[in-house]
Amino acid sequence: MTKTLTQKILERHLVSGEYEPGNEIGIRIDQTLTQDATGTMACLQFEAMGLDRVKTDSSVSFVDHNTIQIGFENADDHRYLQTVAARYGLDYSRAGNGICHQVHLERFGKPGTTLLGSDSHTPTGGGIGQIAIGAGGLDVALAMAGEPFFLTCPRVIRINLTGKLESWVSAKDVILKILEIFGTKGNVGCVFEYGGSGVETLTVPERATIANMGAECGVTTSIFPSDEETRKFLKAQAREGGWQELDADPGAECFKVIDIDLSELVPLTATPHSPCNISAVKELEGMDVNQVCVGSCTNSSYRDLMVVAKTLKGKKVHPNVSFVLAPGSKQVVDMLARNGALADLIETGVRLEENACGFCIGNSQSPQTGAVSLRTSNRNFLARSGTKSANVYLVSPETAAAAVITGKITDPRGLGMPYPEIAIPDEFIIDDSMILPPSDDPDSVEIYRGPNIGEPPSNDPLPETVTGVVTIKVEDNITTDHIIPAGSRMKYRSNVPRYSEFLFEVLDTGFYNRAREIRDSGMHNIIVGGLSYGQGSSREHAALCPMYMGVKAVLAKSFERIHTANLINFGIVPVTFRNEDDYDKIDQGDRLEIPDIREKISLGKTLVVKNATKGVEFEVDCDLSERAKDIVLAGGMLSLIKNKK
């Protein structure tokens, strides 16, 4: 029987269930990655499991998100993470070493293995033929403890690439095209598997850019074959030993097949405020630009920054533009420093940020009021830049560089200069001194806990009946950035009571006070959402903080994968409208009841929602696996684990 690459790797890692799309399966996780904004909670949860050592082949703890360090909180978190890593057997990539996905690809990723990361862009590893999946911190903590990761066995969408990209068109334009085709919703439970003759024309960093932003479509992951190009990349990273050839069998059956001729693609952009609002750059040409930001885990590789440096060599930043650059890793900067490209960039007038997420997560370089900001990052959700009125356009490094020169949105093909083709170097500069291995004497390591670090909050078992108030009713496409912002608020990630004050801040600053009053009056909070609720990040705080505020159920037209898992892990019931029109039968402030929710979930019976305010009732769905039911009934995974002890 012929198999997709996804099937081959998943089957090799299967520990429970059968490989059949739609089934729940459990897989063994070889590698994990965490980053500081999600990793502190994940490590606290790991510690609570009482193990001596991580059980994976490799677990890496990265510090790349909260590196601005205004106040003591983040530095304390970093120190905590460093000591936990030393004690429990994780490698620790220090602040300054780079963005988790970029560094992981460079120094750790291995074709044919599984990687679980507490960050939604973990699928970047698909660029070297890994099954790399983003998940909530608690799921990653469990994987670190050697537990399987449970997921819906995916349906494989094959994306056949043919042809070769024209000059000034690059990998970002490929994934923006894919976002135009698939959108950000309706792709839950699928994997994008790339193949076809066009694959060999793309280098590993380009493949990684494409795999990275598959996250915006909501797919479980994206994967490329591991071929000679992969070997070349790993060899240049002095890691050729980890290479193996991997591809789908010819003719392997897929859920869907689409063809993309790379030679037909043109420079594209995602316009505000969603990565799937796609336009050709040409159509927006001439629009004034205030800010250009190059970097993020999507486009901060050596290849990307070299294209920008070569395009800008000898030029100056346009007077109306603020040009920001956040390199992906220390290795990338090292390369650019030694070959002179960094000097060229400095000459242009660039504003250099640290090798970290930086502007991408909105904790720095927020643009001016109403700005047009061109960014090579992956998300342009409302207010993510830190400026709610700003309009963020997602573009390739080529399009970004063109705007730095002209001060306007410019199709880079019209720059009238030769295209700087960037080859993968034969050898990258290898210096892992910013990656600290675990301690040889773990028992001697004392875990550092700053005052900002609290215990993960606990939850009660699911009540017999949910009786509550609709604290907020939101529209379609609500992202985790809407639910709980990152940016300057993110420094409270280890302090759930404080961080919860910012819930839904972007949409409705009254949420927190209403939720607190309802919770303190002994009622439950209920959230009502539209289609694709919980898009975007893996941040489990979008479930953990609502749990802390007494939210017991979210009713939505549909949910995104990682957020559903997070809701379940924190004991919040994800309920879907059986009939989407019933969404209109609820308003914010309505009193709802979901009678006998415990019993009905446990027996798999249909749930009914009674709207006492409107005097109507309707049936809803809550399709949970037996495993998920146990978690929700216990009040979340941590309660379930405690009960089992």
Binding site for ligand MIC (CB under 6 A): 37-38, 65, 119-121, 134, 361, 486, 536-539
Asked whether the beta carbons of 613 and 589 are under 8 A apart, the reply is yes
Which of the 8 DSSP states describes residue 585? G
The span from the CA of 562 to the CA of 538, in Å, is 6
- Cα 103 to chain centroid, rounded: 15
Judged by CB, which is closer to ligand MIC: 406, or 532?
532
**Contacts to ligand SF4 from residues 40-69, by CB under 6 A:** 65
Asked whether the beta carbons of 506 and 472 are under 8 A apart, the reply is no
- Which of 159, 161, 176, 361 is close enough to bind ligand SF4 by CB under 6 A? 361
Strand partners, 98: 329
The span from the CA of 72 to the CA of 70, in Å, is 7
The distance of closest approach from Cβ of residue 545 to ligand MIC in the complex, given in angstroms and rounded to an integer, is: 12
The distance of closest approach from Cβ of residue 103 to ligand SF4 in the complex, given in angstroms and rounded to an integer, is: 11
Three-state DSSP at 563 gives helix
Identify what 398 binds: ligand MIC, ligand SF4, none; CB under 5 to 8 Å per kind: none
Which of the 8 DSSP states describes residue 566? H
Identify what 377 binds: ligand MIC, ligand SF4, none; CB under 5 to 8 Å per kind: ligand SF4
297 binds ligand SF4 (CB under 6 A): yes
# residues contacting ligand SF4 (CB under 6 A): 11
Stretch that binds ligand SF4, among 186-194, 355-363, 394-402, 517-525 (CB under 6 A): 355-363
Give 150-203 as a 3 state SS string: EEECCEEEEEEEECCCCCCCCHHHHHHHHHHHHCCCCCCCEEEEEECCCHHHCC
Identify what 538 binds: ligand SF4, ligand MIC, none; CB under 5 to 8 Å per kind: ligand MIC
Binding to ligand SF4 by CB under 6 A, coded x per residue (else -) over 308-347, reads ----------------------------------------
The distance of closest approach from Cβ of residue 537 to ligand SF4 in the complex, given in angstroms and rounded to an integer, is: 7
185 binds ligand SF4 (CB under 6 A): no
Q: Taking CA 51 as the corner, what is the angle to CA 47 and CA 53, rounded to the nearest 5 degrees? A: 100
592 binds ligand SF4 (CB under 6 A): no
452 binds ligand SF4 (CB under 6 A): no
Within 10 angstroms of residue 421's Cβ, the number of other Cβ atoms is: 10
Judged by CB, which is closer to ligand SF4: 13, or 121?
121
Stretch that binds ligand SF4, among 253-261, 356-364, 397-405, 599-607 (CB under 6 A): 356-364
Closest to 499 in 3D by CA, of 453, 462, 461, 556:
453
378 binds ligand SF4 (CB under 6 A): yes
**Contacts to ligand SF4 from residues 205-244, by CB under 6 A:** none
The span from the CA of 598 to the CA of 535, in Å, is 27
Task: Give the CA radius of gyration of the chain.
Answer: 24
Question: Which residues, other chains included, contact 343 with Cβ-Cβ below 8 Å and sequence gap of 6+?
Answer: none
The span from the CA of 529 to the CA of 575, in Å, is 10
304 binds ligand SF4 (CB under 6 A): no
Identify what 296 binds: ligand MIC, ligand SF4, none; CB under 5 to 8 Å per kind: ligand SF4
Q: Using the structure block, give the residue that is written with the tokens 């960039």.
A: 345
Chain residues that interact with ligand SF4, rule: CB under 6 A: 65, 99, 119, 121, 296-297, 357, 360-361, 377-378
